[in-house]
Structure formats: C-alpha cells, structure tokens
C-alpha cells in the first residue's frame, strides 16, 4: 500500500504545482485548500505525512498542525512555508508541533527526497522489532509535566522570573539544570539559576530543559557495569566535541536548535539499562572482548533491538525535531542510505568515538577514516580539539 501525503495550503496554484511534481512519486497524494479541509480529509483517509503552509486564513498552519498532533499523533508533520515565518517555524519545530520544515520556493526533487527520507526514518524507528520491545513495557517513559509547563512559558515569552520560579518548585530539577548548563554551555562558571537563564537564549533554554527532563526520567537506571553518570559524562563530552567539530568544518557556531543533539544521541542506552539491566551488564563485558563487532549488532543479538533504534523511537514518541531522531538512529551507521543530514550524523559519529576513547571506554571500535575525510577533517586537528577539552 503506497504511503499517503496530505498537502495543505490556501493557494490553489501551489497545490496544483505539488500535485504535478508528485505525480510519478509513488505516493498517494491528497490536497486540501485550507486547514479545515485538511482536518476533514484526515478524518476519513489514512495519511502518513502532512505538509502544511503556515499563513492561512481561518485556522493558521501552527494551530492546524497542533490539531493534527493531538488527533493523529502518528502522522508526521512538516511545514512548507516562506522565510518570513521563521520565528513561528522554529517555535513549531522546537515544541514538537512539526518534525521538520522546508522553505518556499522549494526544489522539486529535493522536496520529494526529503519527505521520502522522513517516512523511511519513521518506519525504521517504528520497526516490528522495536515495537515488540516497547509493547512489553507497561508504561513507556514520558517527559515530566514540568517540561511541558516550562516550554509553554518559554513559547509564550513569559518573564524570566516566572520561568525561574517554576523551575525552582523542584529543587532536584533546579540542580540538574544548573549541572547541565555549566557542563554543556558555561564551563562551571554559573552559580545561580537566574544567572543561567539571563545568559541563555530561549532556544538554548528549551534544549537545556529537554536534556534535564530526559535524564531525570532514567535517574535510577543502571546495571553492574554501566550507570546513568557514565552515559551523562559520555553524552556531555560528545555534545561538546560535536559543537567544536562543527565549528572546525563549518567555521561557524552550531545552530541553537541543534546545540544539544549530542546530549541525547545515546538516550537508548538509558532505556535498555532501565528495562534490560542484566543484558546490558553482559553486553558491557562483551564490548571489551577482542573483535570489531559493531555495538548495535551485539545489542540486536542479545536483546533484539539496539540502543540507537530504541532511542530514535523515544525521541520521535516525545515529538522532538527530526534531526534528533536521525542522529540517534544512524550515528553508528553514518553511511546508511536513509541518512539525509550527512554532516550532522558524520560529526555525531566522530564525536561519539572520540568521547568513548577519552573516557577510556573504546569498545573495540575504530574510527572509519572515510568519515572525517568526507568533512575535510584530519586526525591531527580532531586530536587537538579533544586535548583542549580534556585539559579543561
């Protein structure tokens, strides 16, 4: 059965152009002239992915995608809109209303390839093996209520004091945010929550709250040979390295909305440690044995699913931006044909390997030299970055 895509726009000419462009795509295409018409189609037709404009009369694109998210949570949601909607677009991606966005005008081939990629990646994260494991868990982990409360306050541009007071209602949450702020952003120089909030942009603040929320869910996870603290150290170092490697190859700062992708790339480990501690203990032992069997293959053999697959499922389940799931799913398979954001996945792969190496947990994996070469990064430059971070 072909995958179905619903395009929603108030401009009939744009809808006709999209219909022509996707005529031979193999997708089943639905067209809706406005949000209300889009919801009507969703009520009677199976749809895998929705692509919506933002500026529409009546119900706008943001409210429409919010309604889709609530009524049809398994449907992928993408924004196709003009650059002038940048602030609303960013808000939509960061709060989970949309998993991705594409700006007008678009390239026909690139648009089709991107939508196909999103569907394939979603299917990979929701494979039969993953769903079988998830179905055995009585309560799938959800982000704490305070996360949604804080993100709503940030999206509504509330005063920092109100945001601070909400965070301080939970002393443990406050301590975790300060810990991550110092480790990931400020190098231990922040002494108060108010100071941290004043120095961070709202996007970074949302990323920080997200990371704090995720690690708080699995605070009691662990096995005899692996614990949350180890994963936190690795994730934090990976994130720092990814940011530095990004600058090394791009000569510019990593975009704020991607600044914490390294913190969550191994979130699947925490899930497996929580629900499969005995198996993870055995895996930790196997990783030290001779041989170059990929860590994800060992996990599939012993547990039936890899930490990358489970992590990608959770990030998608929590409605996080698509590139979080992509990095999580493919950072051990950077040459996978479904990888679209190659540079980010490549950088995550390099940072992950160097991070484990720096922590003394090499896991018998060697760096594939083709990947840094593809980014014009030489081993000497990478080693210098690692050495500078370790010295701090």
pLDDT computed for residue 196 by the predictor: 75
Contact indicator for 322, 101 with CB cutoff of 8 Å: no
Domains of the chain: 4-125 (3.40.50.2300), 142-217 (no CATH), 220-392 (1.10.3210.10)
Q: Does the pLDDT of residue 56 top 90, yes or no? A: yes
Q: By C-alpha distance, which of 258, 302, 265, 308 is closest to 284?
A: 302
Q: Does the pLDDT of residue 333 top 70, yes or no? A: yes
Contact indicator for 273, 319 with CB cutoff of 8 Å: no
pLDDT computed for residue 249 by the predictor: 94
User: Which of 1-10, 66-75, 263-272, 287-296 bottoms out in mean pLDDT, i.e. has the lowest?
Assistant: 287-296
Q: CA 271, CA 308: separation in Å to the nearest integer?
A: 11
Mean pLDDT along residues 207-225: 77
Residue 255 has what DSSP assignment?
A: P
Q: By C-alpha distance, which of 109, 1, 107 is closest to 48?
A: 1
User: Which of 120-124, 216-220, 306-310, 374-378 bottoms out in mean pLDDT, i.e. has the lowest?
Assistant: 216-220
Contact indicator for 351, 234 with CB cutoff of 8 Å: no
Between 288 and 360, residue with greater pLDDT: 360
Q: Does the pLDDT of residue 364 top 60, yes or no? A: no
Mean pLDDT along residues 55-68: 93
Neighbours of 176 (CB within 10 A): 21
Q: Across the strands, what pairs with 8?
A: 32, 52
Q: CA 156, CA 365: separation in Å to the nearest integer?
A: 45
* φ and ψ at residue 194, rounded to 5 degrees: -60, -40
**Percent of all residues in the chain with a pLDDT value above 90, rounded to a whole number:** 42
Residue 85 has what DSSP assignment?
A: G
State both tokens at 227: 């614990």
Mean pLDDT along residues 62-85: 88
Q: CA 130, CA 337: separation in Å to the nearest integer?
A: 20
Please, what is the average pLDDT of the chain?
86
Q: Which helix (H) or strand (E) holds 317?
A: helix 307-317
* φ and ψ at residue 264, rounded to 5 degrees: -115, 5
Between 142 and 25, residue with greater pLDDT: 25
pTM of the model: 0.80
Between 190 and 28, residue with greater pLDDT: 28
User: Which of 64-78, 133-147, 231-245, 262-276 bottoms out in mean pLDDT, i.e. has the lowest?
Assistant: 133-147
pLDDT computed for residue 326 by the predictor: 93
- Give the pairing of strands 49-52 and 4-8: parallel
Long-range contacts of 230-234 (CB under 8 A, 24+ apart): 230/359, 230/361, 231/266, 231/269, 231/270, 231/273, 233/359, 234/266, 234/355, 234/356, 234/359, 234/361
Q: Does the pLDDT of residue 189 top 80, yes or no? A: no
pLDDT computed for residue 392 by the predictor: 62
Q: Does the pLDDT of residue 207 top 80, yes or no? A: no
Q: By C-alpha distance, which of 120, 125, 118 is closest to 312?
A: 125
* φ and ψ at residue 37, rounded to 5 degrees: -65, -35
Mean pLDDT along residues 252-261: 85
Q: Which helix (H) or strand (E) holds 86?
A: helix 86-94
Structure confidence at residue 30 as a pLDDT band (50, 70, 90): very high
């Amino acid at each position: 059965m072909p995958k179905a895509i619903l395009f929603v726009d108030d401009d009939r000419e744009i809808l006709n152009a999209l219909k022509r462009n996707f005529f031979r795509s193999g997708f089943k295409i639905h067209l809706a002239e406005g949000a209300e018409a889009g919801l009507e189609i969703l009520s009677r037709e199976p749809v895998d992915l929705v692509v919506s404009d933002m500026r529409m009369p009546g119900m706008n694109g943001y409210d429409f995608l919010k309604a889709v998210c609530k009524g049809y949570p398994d449907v992928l949601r993408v924004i196709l809109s003009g650059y002038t909607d940048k602030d609303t677009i960013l808000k939509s991606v960061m709060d989970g209303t949309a998993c991705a966005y594409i700006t007008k005008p678009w390239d026909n081939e690139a648009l089709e390839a991107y939508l196909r990629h999103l569907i394939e990646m979603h299917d990979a994260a929701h494979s039969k093996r993953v769903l079988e494991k998830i179905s055995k868990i009585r309560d799938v982990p959800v982000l704490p209520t305070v996360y949604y409360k804080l993100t709503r306050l940030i999206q509504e541009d509330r005063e920092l004091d109100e945001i601070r007071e909400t965070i301080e209602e939970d002393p443990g949450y406050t301590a975790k945010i300060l810990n991550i702020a110092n480790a990931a952003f400020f190098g231990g120089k922040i002494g108060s929550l108010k100071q941290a909030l004043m120095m961070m942009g709202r996007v970074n603040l949302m990323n920080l709250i997200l990371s704090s929320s995720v690690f708080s869910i699995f605070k009691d996870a662990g096995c005899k040979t692996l614990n949350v603290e180890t994963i936190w150290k690795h994730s934090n170092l990976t994130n720092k390295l990814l940011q530095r490697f990004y600058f090394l190859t791009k000569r510019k700062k990593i975009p704020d909305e991607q600044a914490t992708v390294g913190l969550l790339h191994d979130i699947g480990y925490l899930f497996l440690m929580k629900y499969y501690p005995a198996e993870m203990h055995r895996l930790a032992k196997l990783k030290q044995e001779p041989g170059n069997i990929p860590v994800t293959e060992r996990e599939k053999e012993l547990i039936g699913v890899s930490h990358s697959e489970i992590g990608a499922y959770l990030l998608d389940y929590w409605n996080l931006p698509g590139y979080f799931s992509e990095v999580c799913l493919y950072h051990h398979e950077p040459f996978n044909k479904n990888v679209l954001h190659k540079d980010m996945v490549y950088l995550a792969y390099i940072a992950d390997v160097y991070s484990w190496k720096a922590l003394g947990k090499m896991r018998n994996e060697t760096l594939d030299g083709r990947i840094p070469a593809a980014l014009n990064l030489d081993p000497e430059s990478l080693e210098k970055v690692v050495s500078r971070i370790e010295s701090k």
